[in-house]
Structures are given as structure tokens and as C-alpha cells.
Amino acid sequence: MSISTHVLDVARGRPAGGIAVTLSRRQAGGPWSVVGRAVTDSDGRIKELSSVPLETGDYRLDFAAGEYFKASGTHAFYPEVSVVFAAARGDTHLHVPLLLSPFGYSTYKGQ
């Protein structure tokens, strides 16, 4: 299974390039383990968040939104956005878009 993301800056109406993203997987018993790190490209995309095959389970994407907005002199109410989701048996690819502004965000299961 693979996981990708696409971040759009809805306040500016453009892709959010340069956002650091960390992918973690919940281990049996609770703690999270980092399984991938990447930075969004100029189109706001990361096509593959892990270089190793991923299994079913709970995953978390952490987006460094505060650093992205700080670079343009904008205060971000949410300095870090965390999205937790469950990968089910049979999933071959999961796409998790993030619509971002300095004072809010939205996400959904993409294709």
C-alpha cells in the first residue's frame, strides 16, 4: 500500500509547496513510529510518503503548517495539523488531501 497527499492553500488560492510532512504508524499497544518524511513539491504534492511497503493499521500525517505560514509572515492558529486515519485490508493506495488556511483546515479521503 502507498500513501500520498496534496496540500492546497485555500487562503491564497494556490498549492502549498514546501510543507514538511511526517507519516507515522501506530504500533501494537499504542506508540507511534515514523515510517516516512517528505516535503510538498511546488504543486503541493507528495506522491509517496514511504519508501517501504505499508500494511493495514492506523496512520497519522503531521503537517508543519506553522512553518509554511511563518515563511510568508503569516500567523497560523494551527501550527501543526495532524490527520489520523485507518488503512483497511485491500487498500492499495490512499490519498489524503489537506485544504489549509491560517485559521482552519479540512481533509477528506481522496482518490
The answer to whether residue 30 scores a pLDDT higher than 90 is no
68 φ/ψ angles, rounded to the nearest 5 degrees = -60, -50
**Which pLDDT score, from 0 to 100, does residue 90 have?**
87
Under 8 Å CB-to-CB from 31, ≥6 apart: which residues? none
* Residue 72 Ramachandran class (φ > 0 left, ψ -120 to 50 alpha, else beta): alpha
Q: Mind listing the domains of the chain with CATH numbers?
A: 2-107 (2.60.40.180)
Kindly report the pTM of this predicted structure.
Answer: 0.95
Per-residue model confidence as pLDDT tens digits over 36-72: 999 999 999 999 999 888 999 999 999 999 999 999 9
β-strands 104-107, 57-63 pairing: unpaired
